[in-house]
């Protein structure tokens, strides 16, 4: 396995990396899990299986380096368990999220130490060196203890191998530290080799959704000489007793079957290792019960076999990553590509236990999948734009499971998900993003789900005027054609919300047409164009307006440019939402004065610094040049410039929060040379491929073709970017778009570059 040591000098790192990559034979060899662990990418390097419920991640965000190289408590608390610039570690968490913008999970922390027992993480934490990581594996050495740490994972369990120097060795379980905004835990020490319990999680993005426990069973490879529970004592005051010595102290409670509950609790296991040696620790996880956590652990790791677990994880990654084969390009290009594919396949992830049990949406009741996969972590405001079209093309079996999960969520809660997390609706972001995912999936030919119930769910969100959990403000949207400011609608980001409702309505209209519902088709199609009511001829922008029809005053189109709050828009400004009507580019061009005016406005968006590569509505804009006759040649250079500027083989090599794979999906499509610039529209916009050849294995269970090949002729780095001509299966292809239905027939798209 190729490993990446990011603590060496940059020259040595790149030289070794390129040498290894050049000789690599498997896709997993090109994955660098450290990409995105800086610059707010919010990824982490910990081992995880594809769509795995468990990931074992080095947890280094509780403290940060202050003045004089002293580590101090981190008052900012990042939204990820690991940040590459930090180097003071307090353990290894077992439930984590990748590429999200708010803190959650990062819980069930293990920590190996040596010497006298210390239970305060500020004291027992350690710096580390020699980080290395690859799919399914992570290792480094703790400076303070000389312990070599190795981590791996199965779908529902993690395993750690700690190689200790001679002397006293300790394994600590800390249930107090976590990223989540919730507190509280319980544990029971079953024996000198096992502990069980749960940790509370919830309040993602500080929204008051349900709070739920994550259950665990921890087992060690050998019995401890001493063991027990511990608790950080609160500050008591009273005349009856002298509690002073316990104020803010961590007090151990040794003994068999020790039970403990509270906010800052844990368990410890101590060993006498005169010759040193390795201790393995495995943790099974469940969101339904302790019994199922134990069941998951026993089913997936019956014994202690670190190397076997590591090999199986790598094999699982290779099987999925190898569905796309690359020829040509640089080793750096392949690393960026396969790492992006790795990140895209982390979420959504499975939720069910090995016996099929899972927590139902919102109600929290335990249900069973009957052998199917139940998926969770649906950051749909982000992923509906490109992640799900990518999955539909390359991994249709996964996409169908995800859509079935979404439909089941409607059956259980009465609503489709918006930003679902572990069966809880967080309500984060705006719009109705589930509808485009469902419509896009059906239109791409993936029909093996209950479309009748799915349509019922999407139509409910689009028509229920009151008490609508998915579409607040629908009464105004439906009657006025826009959501006004300063109204009883109580909607933040009125323009952004309306634009999202528009794209959802357009997708619902396409689905209605495909299902033979002409009245619904016309109704939702007409409503999908209502963004035009925001068009301000004076500024050429989509501008917030009041209930009486007047424009918002004052109005600065650049306000909110750097994600600061601004009236009318969510995570962006008027410039960054100016072109977000991908379903109606023809109408948008007319509003702006025709092709030439649209071209100048689009070009100005990039030249004035108002384009944001990390902002989801923006990322389709480089491909909008393909909609302007005679200006299509602008797409490829713009896409390649953004690619080289924002994506590279380093911790900061993502332009920002990966948003559970959305930014990675942009890179994947762009490197292959085509992009879905509008969900629900089956046409891909063409650009110049990076590689000489990309071969996608098509799944014959869903598509007529066996493989799709994209060949770039005369591709020489970034020298030849313009498309001279294209051929599809030997015939001249005259458009700068090509349909999904054509591509899945299989064949060769040959792009000649100049």
Minimum mean pLDDT among 29-33, 365-369, 613-617, 691-695: which range?
613-617
Cα 27 to the center of its chain, rounded Å = 21
What pLDDT was estimated at residue 14?
Answer: 47
> What is the residue whose two structure tokens read 């690991």?
82
Q: What is the average pLDDT across 357-370?
A: 96
Give me 600's structure tokens.
């100048």
The upper half-sphere exposure of residue 748, i.e. CA atoms within 13 Å in the direction of its Cβ, equals: 12
Per-residue confidence (pLDDT) for residue 522, from 0 to 100: 98
N- to C-terminal Cα separation, the chain: 38
What was the pLDDT predicted at 84?
Answer: 94
Residue 599 half-sphere exposure toward CB, CA atoms < 13 A: 14
Query: Could you give the CA distance from residue 34 to residue 455 in angstroms, rounded to a whole number?
Result: 41
Higher model confidence: residue 73 or residue 230? 230
Q: How many angstroms separate the Cα of 142 from the Cα of each of 70, 88, 90, 337? A: 17, 10, 11, 31
DSSP E strand stretches across 59-192: 63-65, 71-73, 88-89, 92-93, 109-114, 126-134, 137-142, 148-153, 157-164, 167-174, 185-191
Decide which of 68 and 71 is more confident. 71
- What sign does the dihedral 361-42-59-152 (CA atoms) show? positive
Tokens, residue 545: 């307006």
Q: What is the pLDDT of residue 249?
A: 79
Tens of pLDDT, residue by residue over 622-677, are: 999 999 999 999 999 999 999 999 999 999 999 999 999 999 999 999 999 999 99
Query: Which run of H or of E encompasses 744?
Result: none
- Cis link prior to 554 (omega < 30° from 0)? yes
When pLDDT is cut at 50, 70 and 90, the band that residue 255 belongs to is confident
pLDDT of 516 > 80? The answer is: yes
172-216 pLDDT, tens digit each: 999 999 999 899 999 999 999 999 999 999 988 877 767 899 999
**H-helix or E-strand containing 428?**
none
Token pair for residue 441?
A: 């999936």
Q: Pseudo-torsion of CA 371, 376, 380, 386, nearest 10°?
A: -60
- What's the CA gap between 256 and 259, in Å, rounded? 9
Average pLDDT over residues 602-622: 95
Neighbours of 609 (CB within 10 A): 10
| Sequence-distant (≥ 6) Cβ neighbours of residue 256 within 8 angstroms | 189, 191, 192
Model pLDDT, residue 63: 80
Q: Which of 127, 117, 20 is nearest to 69 (CA)?
A: 127
Q: Which residue has the tokens 């236990």?
A: 353
What confidence score (pLDDT) does residue 235 get? Answer: 64
Residue 370 CA to residue 353 CA, distance in Å, equals 11
Calpha distance 400→650 (Å, rounded): 34
The distance from CA 228 to its chain's CA centroid, rounded to whole angstroms, is 37
Extents of the domains making up the chain: 10-319
Give the 3-state secondary structure of residue 534.
helix
- Average pLDDT, integer, range 107-130: 96
Residues 562, 604: Cα–Cα separation, whole Å: 17
Q: Residue 10 pLDDT > 60, yes or no?
A: no
Burial code (b: 16+ CB inside 10 Å, e: under 16) for 675-694 equals bbbbbbbbbbbbbbbbbbbb
Instruction: Specify the DSSP element, H or E, that contains 220.
Output: strand 211-220
Q: In what order do the strands lie in the sheet with 419-421?
A: 378-379, 419-421, 424-425
Arithmetic mean of pLDDT, 506-516: 98
Give the Cα-Cα-Cα angle 605, 609, 614 (nearest 5 degrees): 90
pLDDT of residue 1: 41
**Angstrom distance (rounded) from CA 187 to CA 185:** 7
Q: How many CB atoms lie within 10 A of CB 653?
A: 24
C-alpha span between 203 and 93 (Å, rounded) = 19
Q: H or E segment at 26?
A: none
Q: Which residues pair with 226 in a beta bridge?
A: 270
Residues 6+ apart with CB under 8 A from 488: none
Residue 238 pLDDT level (bands cut at 50, 70, 90): low
Q: Tokens 């104020």 — which residue?
A: 247
| Backbone dihedral angles phi then psi of residue 300, each to the nearest 5 degrees | -100, -20
* More confidently predicted of 75 and 464: 464
SS3 470: coil
- Classify residue 733 as exposed, middle or buried by CB count within 10 Å of its CB (0-12, 13-18, 19+): middle
Token duo for residue 350: 């499975």
Is-contact 29 334, C-beta < 8 A? no
Report the alpha-carbon distance of residue 191 to residue 295 in Å, rounded: 18
Q: Which residues contact 537 (CB under 8 A, 6 or more apart)?
A: none
Angle between the 662-672 and 635-646 helix axes, to the nearest 10 degrees?
130
Give dist(CA 108, CA 265) in Å, integer.
11
Q: What is the mean pLDDT of residues 357-380?
A: 97
> Which CATH code for domain 10-319?
2.70.98.10
CA 235 vs. chain centroid, Å, equals: 39
Cα 666 vs. chain centroid, distance in angstroms? 13
CB 751 within 8 A of CB 688: yes
Averaged confidence pLDDT in the chain? 93
Could you give the CA distance from residue 146 to residue 167 in angstroms, rounded to a whole number?
11
The arithmetic mean of pLDDT across residues 709-734, rounded, is 94
What is the average per-residue pLDDT within 701-720? 93
- Position 11 scores a pLDDT of 37
pLDDT above 70 as % of the chain: 93
For residue 72, how far is the Cα from the chain centroid?
A: 29
**Would the pLDDT of 141 be above 90?**
yes
The answer to whether 439 and 451 have CB atoms below 8 angstroms apart is no
Separation of alpha carbons 182 and 106, rounded Å: 11
């Amino acid at each position: 396995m190729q490993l990446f040591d990011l603590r060496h000098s940059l020259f040595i790192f790149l030289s070794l990396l390129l040498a290894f990559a050049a000789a690599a034979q498997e896709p997993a060899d090109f994955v660098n899990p450290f990409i995105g662990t800086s610059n707010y990418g919010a990824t982490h390097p910990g081992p995880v299986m594809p769509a795995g419920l468990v990931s074992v991640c080095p947890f280094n965000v509780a403290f940060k380096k202050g003045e004089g190289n002293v580590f101090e408590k981190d008052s900012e608390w990042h939204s990820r368990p690991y940040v590459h610039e930090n180097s003071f570690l307090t353990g290894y968490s077992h439930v984590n999220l990748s590429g999200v913008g708010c803190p959650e999970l990062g819980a069930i922390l293990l920590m190996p130490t040596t010497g006298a027992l210390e239970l305060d993480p500020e004291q027992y934490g350690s710096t580390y060196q020699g980080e290395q990581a690859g799919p399914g594996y992570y290792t480094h050495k703790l400076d303070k203890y000389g312990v070599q740490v190795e981590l791996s994972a199965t779908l529902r369990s993690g395993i750690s191998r700690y190689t200790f120097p001679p002397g006293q060795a300790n394994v600590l379980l800390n249930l107090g530290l976590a990223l989540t905004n919730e507190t509280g835990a319980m544990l029971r020490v079953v024996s000198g080799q096992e502990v069980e319990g749960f940790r509370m999680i919830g309040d993602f993005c500080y929204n008051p959704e349900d709070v739920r426990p994550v259950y665990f069973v921890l087992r060690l490879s050998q019995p401890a000489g001493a063991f027990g529970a511990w608790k950080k004592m609160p500050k008591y005051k009273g005349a009856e007793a002298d509690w002073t010595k316990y104020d803010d102290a961590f007090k151990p409670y040794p003994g068999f079957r020790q039970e403990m509950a509270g906010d800052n609790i844990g368990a410890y296991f101590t060993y006498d290792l005169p010759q040193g040696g390795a201790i393995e620790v495995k943790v099974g996880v469940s969101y339904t019960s302790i019994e199922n956590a134990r069941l998951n652990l026993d089913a997936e790791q019956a014994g202690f076999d670190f190397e076997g677990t590591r090999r199986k994880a790598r094999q699982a990654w290779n099987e999925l990553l190898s569905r796309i084969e690359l020829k040509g390009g640089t080793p750096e290009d392949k690393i960026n590509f396969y790492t992006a594919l790795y990140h895209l396949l982390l979420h959504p992830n499975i939720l069910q236990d090995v016996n099929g049990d899972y927590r139902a949406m919102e109600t929290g009741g335990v249900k069973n999948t009957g052998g199917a996969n139940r998926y969770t972590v649906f950051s749909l405001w982000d992923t509906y734009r490109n992640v799900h079209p990518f999955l539909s093309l390359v991994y249709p079996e996964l996409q169908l499971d995800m859509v079935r999960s979404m439909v089941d969520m409607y059956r259980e809660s009465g609503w489709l998900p918006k930003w679902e997390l572990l069966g809880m609706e967080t309500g984060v972001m705006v719009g109705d993003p589930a509808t485009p995912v469902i419509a896009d999936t059906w239109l791409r030919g993936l029909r093996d789900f209950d479309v009748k119930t799915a349509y019922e769910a999407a139509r409910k969100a689009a028509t229920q005027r009151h008490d609508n959990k998915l579409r607040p403000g629908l009464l105004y949207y439906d009657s006025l054609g826009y959501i006004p400011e300063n109204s009883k609608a109580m909607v933040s980001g009125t323009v952004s919300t309306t634009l999202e409702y528009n794209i959802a309505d357009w997708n619902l209209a396409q689905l209605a047409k495909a299902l033979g519902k002409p009245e619904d088709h016309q109704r939702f199609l007409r409503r999908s164009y209502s963004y035009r009511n925001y068009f301000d001829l004076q500024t050429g922008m989509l501008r917030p307006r009041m209930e009486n029809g007047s424009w918002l005053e004052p109005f600065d189109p650049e306000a909110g440019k750097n994600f600061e709050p601004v009236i009318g828009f969510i995570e962006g400004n008027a410039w960054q939402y100016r072109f977000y009507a991908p379903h109606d580019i023809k109408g948008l061009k007319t509003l702006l004065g025709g092709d030439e005016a649209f071209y100048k406005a689009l070009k100005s968006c990039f030249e004035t610094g108002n384009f944001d590569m990390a902002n989801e509505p923006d990322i389709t804009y480089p491909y909008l040049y393909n909609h302007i006759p005679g200006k299509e040649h602008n797409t490829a250079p713009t896409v390649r410039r953004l690619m080289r500027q924002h994506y590279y083989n380093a911790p900061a090599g993502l332009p920002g929060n990966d948003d559970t794979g959305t930014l990675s999906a942009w890179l994947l499509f762009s490197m292959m040379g085509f992009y879905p610039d509008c969900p629900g529209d089956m046409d891909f916009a063409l650009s110049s491929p990076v590689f000489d050849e990309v071969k996608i294995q098509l799944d014959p269970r869903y598509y007529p073709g066996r493989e799709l090949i994209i060949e770039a002729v005369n591709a020489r780095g970034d020298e030849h970017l313009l498309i001279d001509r294209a051929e599809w299966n030997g015939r001249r292809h005259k458009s700068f778009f090509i349909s999904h239905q054509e591509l899945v027939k299989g064949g060769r798209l040959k792009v000649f570059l100049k």
